[in-house]
Amino acid sequence: MISRTRAVLTAGALAVALGLGITAQASAGAPRSVSGKPSDDISRIADFYGAYVDSKADEDGRGLEKALRGHYLTPALQKRLTAWESREHADGVLRAQNVPLAWKVTDNGTVGTSREAVITLTWGSGTTELVVGMNRTSHKIVRIGDKGAAGR
């Protein structure tokens, strides 16, 4: 009798747990979607920052980090970032020593031959905003800084 009672209680607990799981999953909302296209500069900047933050968060992402810089950044910017990193002892793309918890890319308009985006990096203690400029012809990132091209 005791084992049957245990079996019924276990089955009941399992049913409740599964029911709660289904409720939690159903209340999570509709599936999210993210889109972009390689000809869109803002998509490319978002692709770069998403992959770069992932590579920094992964323990074995060092090779990917270097490859991403080579693919998305101009050689001149890579050189400037190396100098900045030596001086500041931090990652020049993120302007920090650690990895953000989240990132967001917002279109900031066109300045001359560049398309600008504001990158909002979310940390445990708040947010940081960077302004990134991408050459509209080469689709390469030419500038990462605290201010846009007009306020260099």
* Contact in structure between 105 and 117 (CB atoms under 8 Å): yes
Tens-digit pLDDT profile for residues 122-140: 999 999 999 999 999 999 9
Cα–Cα distance measured from residue 122 to residue 129, given in angstroms and rounded to the nearest whole number: 9
**Confidence class for position 114, pLDDT limits 50, 70, 90:** very high
Element (H, E) at 61: none
Cα separation, 50 vs 52, whole angstroms: 6
Q: How confident is the model at residue 151 (pLDDT cuts 50, 70, 90)?
A: low
How many CB atoms lie under 10 A from the CB of residue 84?
Answer: 16
pLDDT at 149: 67
CA dihedral (126, 41, 115, 76) positive or negative: positive
Structure confidence at residue 11 (pLDDT):
42
